[in-house]
Amino acid sequence: MERGRPQTRTETTSSRRTGIRTAENQTIMNPHSEALLSKVNPILAAKVRSMAEALAAQGITIIVVQGLRTVAEQDALYAQGRTTPGKIVTNAKGGQSWHNFGCAVDCAPENTDGSIDWNANHPTWKAMEAEAVKVGLVSGANWVRFVDAPHVQLTGKFPEGAPDTEAREFYAKGGLQGVWDAIVPNVPEVENV
């Protein structure tokens, strides 16, 4: 979806019943996913949409389940499985995740009944991970120390791991936009994004 271009939207009737299609019949993420994408780096959001469209052509629907997180939200996730009940889902404390800078989202394949498929070994996950890399994103599924299959990020010149001092300095000076502007010159161009 291009900025400034008027859209005619209609509800779909396929497995993407919660999704929306443009008048040109392009698949766009469902409303919840779009709400999450509206809060992250616009280039990341465009690449995730491109990834979703390519996967839709293969009969795979993905949704965004996590996007921008506050430091407090990140700290709560970090506590999970450590000091609060649940499974450990992250090794990043608040301020140490690209989610805190609007440069990462978590995606998952959606089943035809609307439920989320959390089997990261399923071929749909492998297709999603491959498409993420194809559009120029880093896939957490390829990490060695802590595999994070739903995670995709756009970090440009910054390290794939935790945000470094330079990224935090850009944030201190210019907020999210400061970090996003520092990433832009180093983002590989991808067709249709």
Residue 144 has a pLDDT of 81
pLDDT digits (tens, 9 = 90+) for 78-125: 999 999 999 999 999 999 999 999 999 999 999 989 899 899 999 999
Helix 123-134 to helix 42-56 angle (10° resolution) is: 130
CA–CA separation, 28 and 53 (whole Å): 7
Domain ranges in the chain are: 27-186
CA–CA separation, 183 and 41 (whole Å): 10
Torsion angle defined by CA atoms of residues 156, 160, 163 and 164, in that order, rounded to the nearest 10 degrees? -90
HSE-CB of 164 using CA atoms within 13 angstroms: 10
Q: What is the CATH number of domain 27-186?
A: 3.30.1380.10
Residue 184 has a pLDDT of 78
